[in-house]
Amino acid sequence: MLEVRGLRKRFGQTEALRGIDLDLERGAALGLIGGSGSGKSTLARCIARFERPDAGEIRIGGTAAYTHADVQLIFQEAAASLNPRFTAEEIVAEPLVIQGRSGSAREWLETVGLPADSASKPAWAFSGGERQRLAIARALILTPRLLILDESFSGLDLTLQAQLTALLRDLRSRLGLTLILISHDLALAERIADRIVVMHEGVLVERTHPAAVEIENASRWLSLRSALA
């Protein structure tokens, strides 16, 4: 589904991405973790075409000619991306309007666990967890090939995190969803992802499965984990 080769991105004197190579299979979930400034969000924004890399190539479904509709990115502050004047139904349907497509916003509200009678409620009337569900429904209504959640659960209490984790697992099962979860929380990533990639100063340190650490330099992994705690 996703192929990243030799990706580089520089901001002034700072090299945010230093030759990133990454693959993600269809239907898989990748946990991308790392400290602040490690390059996680820059990588996500390059994949979602919000940033243009300086070098390298990104392919989605085998092609570099993919669009914003193919990759949907959900940010940490869902409320900031929701028009407060819109109802829930209008918020979820907005991407369809922009793309000139048809579809049922109410059906997607129910898919993410919001009752159909919430369709007429304004964005400000929803809780933090419900706003994240709205953001997920709005992203999925375009049936993207890849969903990226950039610190989307940060700031939510453990109960809401558990509910949204269960939702993502259910969506993966029902829809065959392919996703990347970006987080500084290793434990959260382990509950969702099949594979963990640690990002540090623009490079990747990978282990193939959350249940078994597979990094040659164990002391480096432990220091990274301590830094993320």
- pLDDT tens track for 63-102: 999 988 899 998 877 667 788 888 999 999 998 888 888 8
Query: Count of residues for the chain?
Result: 229
Give this prediction's pTM. 0.84
Architecture of domain 1-66+149-155+182-229 in this structure: 3-Layer(aba) Sandwich (3.40)
CA nearest 87: which of 123, 141, 117?
123
Q: What is the mean pLDDT of residues 118-137?
A: 87
**What does the pLDDT read at residue 215?**
40
- Residue 40 pLDDT: 92
Compute CA 72 distance to the chain's CA centroid, rounded to the nearest angstrom: 8
A 10 A CB-CB count for 4 gives 21
Tell me, what amino acid is at 180?
A: I
In the predicted model, what is the mean pLDDT of residues 49-57?
94
What is the DSSP-derived secondary structure letter of residue 100? T
Domain range annotation of the chain: 1-66+149-155+182-229
Q: Find out whether 123 and 83 touch, Cβ atoms under 8 Å.
A: yes
Give the model's confidence band at 214: pLDDT under 50 very low, under 70 low, under 90 confident, else very high. Answer: very low
Q: What is the pLDDT of residues 141-172, one digit of tens each?
A: 989 999 999 988 777 788 888 888 899 999 98
